[in-house]
Structure 1
Amino acid sequence: MKQRSLLTVAIAGALALGGCDNAGKGKQADTGKSAEVPVLVEVKDAVAVVNGKPISKESVTIMTSEIEQRRGPNSAPEDKIVDELISRELLRQEAEKQKLTSDPSNAARVENTLRIVLSQMAAEDFIKKAQVTEEELKKEYEQRVAAMKRTEYKARHILVEKEADAKDIIAKLQKGAKFADLAKKFSKDPGSKENGGDLGWFSAQQMVAPFSEAVAKLKNNETTAAPVQTQFGWHVILREDEREQAPPPFDQVKEQLKNMMQTQKLQEHIAELKKTAKIEHTAPPKTEAPKAAEPAAGAAAPEEGAEAEPDNSVEAGKPAPAEAEKAAAPAEPVEAAPAAKPAK
């Protein structure tokens, strides 16, 4: 992903966490004029002029860049982008002609869109100026390496619905039955069943707590003497091996850490702005406590139900999810490019 895209994702995540959109502050203007930002474009710098209104070359460049960040290079032909901008300009002029922003709800939509764009610009400018020294990066790296849970385990498991079934499997193992054979026959975990219950290598935080704790207590080549219960059912576990995971080299995660630390600085900046700002909640929004997430129906593999733990890994400095970028980015041209292919 390009550097600008990384910045955009990080900024979008920081703005979401920082809540810099002070919705509800002040009274909405009826005309929407407060949302207007005059842009002076000379005809010589335009790619098209629509009823006397020029469309700048920079507008094409910006939209091309935004689309390529999401779809890849050469995914939006320039002529399609220009045509889309012309269509948008015509519709914008139509909206002005019909005075659609005289409707308070429409004016609010315009103001909110402008608020998103300008806050994004301010945040991006701050992040570009936020200096993170090599010393700060190395210190952050060392702290994360020290906090890492570096032990990894290799194990197999057999998942069944009833404790009695798990006990029966343990009895069969004690009589000499092969673990892999029983896993293929009895396990309800579709992810490991055909591989004889093999889960491969995993860290403790990748599994639900009861499962991880049971694996950690076992010795290599030892099977649980009693069934282990999780929200997925009852497990019989065979621990095969353990190893110490080497942390990724500093140079490999340097940019991710820098991105994360810049985002942290932005969040702190937003917090300071809030402290010094006069914010009046004239109609405080109603809040509702989030509901606890329930395991997906039919889920079986323990890694699918891993409990969320604080991520202190070195690679935790990755940008916020791409959904945040989509939320903050302008819509793509309707006809600018064919639909993106499914990710492999």
Structure 2
Amino acid sequence: MKPYSIRFFISAVMALGFASVACSQDALPINAAASVNGVIISNDAVEQGIQASLSQGQKDSPELRKAVLGKMIEISLLSQQAEKDGLANSDRANSQLALIRQNYLADLELSTYISKNPVTDVDVQAEYSREIASLGPQGMIIEYKVSDIAVATEADAQAALVRIKKGESFDKVAKSVSLAPNKVQGGAVGWVQAGQTLPQIASVLVTLTKGQVSPAPIQMPQGWYLIKLEDKKSSKPPTFEQAKAAIRNGLTQKKQFEFLSQLRQGANIVVR
């Protein structure tokens, strides 16, 4: 069985905390999966663990369910021992438990907001239609294989461009002067669509031919860039059935971002 994610561990701890009801009799309550020294592990808590495991790609099976319950028994045993050892009221425990509670509530708030403001089938269909319309009359997805060089000043970008024009490879110059993490890959970015890049990049990218480097440095908020079009390809867009899951996920993330932006605007945030 694969290790549990932090998110599952948080959910498990919270679930155990909500289900810590003493059981003095051998017979378990109806919604109990197990009892550990009289502390109940509920079926609901176990189901949360199972769903977390399924979300990590594991397959539902009796073995998985047994392993999840076994893990929760271990968590209960360890937490009870921590109580006995006086760890529960330590500064470290209190700060971590506060963080666990905060993360849990944040996740709960987002999921509750989305449940009250769901992405509808109409929303998904409208977004798919908009994306198809944006492809133009040919109705094809154009992808660009791009490399870039990021430097701090226009003078640095011009110096890099001179080296490339004199015959040095884009890859070599990127490894030499670029400030971006992808410098170790020679500035390789990979395949992107123009709409996935900032307008300053997109407007230049669509004008390049295969193997061409941007004729002038491109000013961006974080510095100056040179880009190279390594390759270009076109493909048919996916059908609605193929795309709808990804579109729904994207629209959901957009709703979450907009919700967080609203909270930020109404908050008094002070950063040192």
Q: TM-score range by the shorter chain?
A: 0.5 to 0.7
Residue 73 of structure 1 corresponds to 59
CA–CA distance in 2 between the matches of 1:55 and 1:151? 51
Matched, 1:90 2:81: no
Residue 59 of structure 1 corresponds to 45
Kept in 2, the 8 Å contact 1:41–1:56? The answer is no
CA change 1:214–1:84 in 2 (3 A) is closer
Q: Does the residue aligned with 1:108 lie in a helix, a strand or coil? A: helix
CA–CA distance in 1 between the matches of 2:227 and 2:106? 50
**Offset at 1:71?**
3.8
Matched, 1:251 2:241: yes
1:48-197 aligned within 5 A: 48-74=34-60, 77-148=64-135, 152=142
CA–CA distance in 1 between the matches of 2:161 and 2:259? 53
CA–CA distance in 2 between the matches of 1:280 and 1:215? 42
CA change 1:204–1:285 in 2 (3 A) is closer
Residue 3 of structure 2 corresponds to none
CA–CA distance in 2 between the matches of 1:85 and 1:121? 21
Q: Deviations over 1:184-217 (max 9, x none)?
A: xx9897xxxxxxxxxxx9866799x99x958845
Q: Report the TM-score, using the length of structure 1 for normalisation.
A: 0.44
Letter in 2 for 1:266: Q
**Gap regions ≥5 residues in structure 2:** 1-6, 8-16, 146-159, 172-190, 218-223
CA change 1:206–1:122 in 2 (3 A) is closer
**Offset at 1:133?**
3.5
When the two structures are aligned, how many residues end up with a matched partner? 211
Kept in 2, the 8 Å contact 1:64–1:78? The answer is yes
CA–CA distance in 1 between the matches of 2:263 and 2:99? 19
Q: Percent identity?
A: 21
Cα RMSD of the aligned pairs, angstroms, is 4.9
Aligned equivalent of 1:269, options 234, 241, 259: 259
**Gap regions ≥5 residues in structure 1:** 1-7, 9-35, 156-160, 170-185, 190-200, 287-344
Q: Does the residue aligned with 2:119 lie in a helix, a strand or coil? A: coil
Kept in 2, the 8 Å contact 1:228–1:234? The answer is no
Greater RCO structure (CA 8 Å; 6+ sep): 1
CA change 1:77–1:271 in 2 (3 A) is same
Letter in 1 for 2:114: I
1:313-324 aligned within 5 A: none
Q: Report the TM-score, using the length of structure 2 for normalisation.
A: 0.54
**Offset at 1:39?**
5.1
1:195-274 aligned within 5 A: 216=207, 218=209, 245-273=235-263
